Structure 1
């Protein structure tokens, strides 16, 4: 039998979230909203409580802060991205 045709390429898929390695901390989105600002970049050192992102949700701006000290290993969202609850935003190692 003939092989099934390859699926059409999706238009510009989002960067797949990096898998957190053992010992890494994943920063997830607490509620649906829109990313207004990305305040960190990969490789940046952060302290617990540092603001990582500004999330607009329910017409309010919410600071998403680092849950621990470490280095940002990956950033999974960009300014303007719509996010849902529990979407991965970043990984801190």
Structure 2
């Protein structure tokens, strides 16, 4: 038997290997090998994931139109300050391979638009503020 020190990916292993065949056994030291262990630095905790900031602040007196289901914004048809009538299309949301028109619930003025074309949104995410 031979004692060998093997390093694999930076980790040192002390192993014993038996020779097979007609070769005489090699002399073996009876003192155990001291294998230094590599220092392991503690893994830093992952940085907290910040929630995406809202695109625009919601005015205190504004009515918030939120996303009814997760999807992707296909188009935004309004801008802040624009007047809209009941049932005007504010934006188009693609969800489950269908385009869904998000319409104004009543006559109003657009206070803020919180999404851009191409944004992925979750259910309940702010889309548009009206007042």
TM-score (norm 1): 0.79
CA deviation digits over 1:25-71, x for unaligned, max 9? 11100000000000000110001110001100000000000112111
Which of 44, 58, 63 is the matching residue for 1:19?
Answer: 58
Alignment of 1:49 with 2:90, yes or no, is no
Q: Give the structure with higher Rg (CA).
A: 2
| Contact 2:55–2:113, Cα closer than 8 Å, also in 1 | no
- 1:58 paired residue number: 96
Q: Distance in 2 between matches of 1:87 and 1:75?
A: 12
Q: Distance in 1 between matches of 2:73 and 2:118?
A: 5
Secondary structure of the corresponding residue to residue 26 of structure 1: strand
RMSD: 1.8
TM-score (norm 2): 0.58
| Contact 2:58–2:112, Cα closer than 8 Å, also in 1 | no
Which stretches in structure 2 are left out of the alignment for 5+ residues? 1-46
Structure 1 pair 79–55 and aligned structure 2 pair: CA distance change class (3 A): same
Alignment of 1:30 with 2:62, yes or no, is no
Secondary structure of the corresponding residue to residue 56 of structure 1: strand
Count of paired positions? 82
